[in-house]
């Protein structure tokens, strides 16, 4: 199974809303005793153990799909972790397949490999009226939001591990989709 956490590279974006995918992959690596390393001359960081590969594309969010063809052999085992504006902070949603729903990172991936992969959405909430979405997704979480986010990331890791361990996908989806930090 390959788990891709979407985000933007560099310290400038480290704790921003758009980087919850990176945060989740980093948490999963930490809990699994794996270390993410930059692939030589390639635009991603990855960690591997047996048949589990954790990947952070280093291509910026909107170009995430570029690295997929070189890494992906079997779409049944692809999980993409991504932020979702339509979910409140602390909520999760897992689904297989579907459109990009306007998310440019997903749009790039779908353009590279098609729609049939598992998505783990982590809620970042919508900005208040009058706040530009592009600026909002590149902003940090409040202290209260960060507590909820950390719980959601931990729950996302549990869900991804359950998918990896071949648990009943419907049960994993139901449990994750009912989670609220």
> Which residue numbers belong to the known binding site for tRNA?
13, 60, 62, 104
Angle among Cα 67, 102, 164 to the nearest 5 degrees reads 50
Catalytic residue among 17, 18, 103, 119: 18
Residues belonging to the binding site are 13, 60, 62, 104
Active-site residue flag, 18: yes
Question: 3-state secondary structure string, 16-62?
Answer: EHHHHHHHHHHHHHHHHCCCCEECCCCCEEEEEECCEEEEEECCCHH
Give the integer Cα–Cα distance in Å for 102 and 106: 8
Residues serving a catalytic function are 18
């Amino acid at each position: 199974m390959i788990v891709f956490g979407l985000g933007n590279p560099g310290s400038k974006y480290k704790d921003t809303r758009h980087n919850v995918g990176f945060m989740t992959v980093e948490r999963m690596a930490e809990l699994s005793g794996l270390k993410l390393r930059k692939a030589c001359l390639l635009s991603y960081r990855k960690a591997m153990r047996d048949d589990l590969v954790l990947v952070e594309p280093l291509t910026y969010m909107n170009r995430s799909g570029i690295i997929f063809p070189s890494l992906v052999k079997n779409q049944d085992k692809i999980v993409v972790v991504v932020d979702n504006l339509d979910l409140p902070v602390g909520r999760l949603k897992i689904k297989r397949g579907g459109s990009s729903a306007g998310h440019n990172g997903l749009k790039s991936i779908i353009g590279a490999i098609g729609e049939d992969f598992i998505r783990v959405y982590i809620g970042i909430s919508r900005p208040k009226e009058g706040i530009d979405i592009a600026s909002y997704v590149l902003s940090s979480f409040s202290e209260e939001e960060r507590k909820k986010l950390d719980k959601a990331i931990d729950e996302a890791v549990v869900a991804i591990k359950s998918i990896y361990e071949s648990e009943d996908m419907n049960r994993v989806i139901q449990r994750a989709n009912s989670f609220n930090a």
